[in-house]
A and B are shown apart, each in its own frame.
Chain A
Amino acid sequence: MRLVKLSEISKAVQKLVIDANHYLPYDMVDAFKTAADNEKEKRAKNILYKLVENYKTAKEGIFPLCQDTGIAVVFLQVGDDLRVDGNIYDAINKGIETGYAEGFLRKSIADPLTRINTNTNTPAIIHTEIIRGPQIKITLMTKGAGAENKSALKMLSPADGIDGIKDFVMDTVGKAGAAACPPFVIGVGIGGNFETAPLLAKKALLRDLGLFSKDKTTAHLEKTLLKEINCLGLGPLGLGGVTTALAVNVETIPCHIASLPVAVNIQCHSARHKTVII
């Protein structure tokens, strides 16, 4: 059985932290350019070009993409054919701490009541999954609060159906407004229960742009919602235009016959995430 050293995990996470905050995934940059071509309003076009400029400046490695370098959300997939020489969560948090310190990134994590900053940007939020094989896959998302604060969960009734889901998504995106930094990626989690729907919505944010669900009904819902959201008039940074969202990614799992949980996780245009395989 393969032995993975904790130091190797910490080092990989440290690099993920710094990279994720300076290199925006290129599908986002591509989407800004396409959206700029589709915008008729001069300001909306200019803002989308400025987002491309911001990407270029950040990738030089001096300034991070955004001053809100986020809360660290880690999707950890651990292979069943390996062992680690200690506590893997401690190793991840150590990587987060050194990454934020050495990358000159803002430490934004505080006690919820006293509001005293932990000064390390830890603890990270870690979601673990066991997979087959001898590898560890770590995906880091640095999630800013502007969009996260506008995300929502609602326990709908089965009778509300698809129309109820659509109304809730539209209402949540409308309320998110300019403060959540559009153009958004919208993650929608439908089904499961009170805690799984939001997690599903968050995972939906990791999907590559331009891909729709393989399920026909779900893909139709995604396309309908995307069209409707882009008619809200919010536009880039909420200053007007037709680019309010770049994608709506819907994920579903079965739920109780009496339930219809729906979660909407809003991702700002600084959609920072990066993956490493150890």
Chain B
Amino acid sequence: MTKITLPLTLEIMQTLHAGDDVLITGVIYTARDAAHKRITEMLVAGKKLPVALKGQLIYYCGPTPTKPGQIIGACGPTTSGRMDKYTPRLLEDLGIKGMIGKGERSKEVKESLVKNQAVYFSALGGLGAEYAKLVTACECVAFEEMGPEAIYKLTVENFYAVVINDIFGGDHYTKKTTCTP
């Protein structure tokens, strides 16, 4: 188990390999379908984003509403593949340094990760209640009207994830051990 304190520097990424278990501590930003669409439209139109994402780690997540007295609601990862269309642009033009989600990425995203020296992690899908306990602060920083699809700045502590695609082109999902029934 490797402990990572953000930001995700090149020095840290050089030590990460597909299949490694990590515990992430620091600030991450949520964004899912609608936020990706909006960010991309703003980039195309040459508009300034309401939040600086250069060097940051994006978490594909749309939490449940926060109950009174709580920091956040359930907040596990959503399927990353839906963001594939937007991701290369976010890596290239925005300079994000990694993403956390679940499931396979497209060939274009994997190539872009190597080219732009960024890492893709998988969190554990369907463990929304457990992840909620690892968030120590949550603040909506953009697109508030989108509700769960807005961008939230989360401070996380020992957030469990697995390295899926590293900066060297390694892909954990291709390393399946099959058997004969």
Contacts and interface: CB of A to CB of B under 8 A. Distances in A.
- Do these two chains interact? yes
Interface of A: 43, 47, 50-51, 53-54, 57-58, 62-69, 104-108, 115, 117, 119, 144-146, 149, 177-181, 224, 227-228, 230-234, 237-240, 242, 268-270
Rank and list the top 9 A-B pairs by shortest CB-CB distance, nearest first: A179-B103, A233-B176, A63-B129, A227-B181, A181-B125, A57-B129, A67-B74, A67-B128, A231-B179
A65 B76 CA distance: 9
A63 B132 contact: yes
Interface of B is mostly: loop
Interface of B: 21, 34, 61-67, 70, 73-76, 78-81, 102-104, 122, 124-130, 132-133, 147-148, 162, 172-173, 175-181
Contacts, number: 149
B143 to A, nearest CB: 13
A246 to B, nearest CB: 13
B73 A178 contact: no
Nearest to A229: B181
A179 B81 contact: yes
A177 B106 CA distance: 13
Contacts of A268: 125-126
Tell which of B76, B122, B172 has the most Cβ of chain A within 10 Å.
Answer: B76
Nearest to A115: B34
Among B63, B65, B67, max chain A CB count under 10 A is at: B65
A239 B162 contact: yes
Given A43-B162, A62-B132, A237-B102, 7 more contacts: A51-B127, A67-B128, A146-B103, A177-B173, A179-B81, A237-B126, A239-B122
Given A105-B64, A179-B80, A181-B102, A237 B125 contact: yes
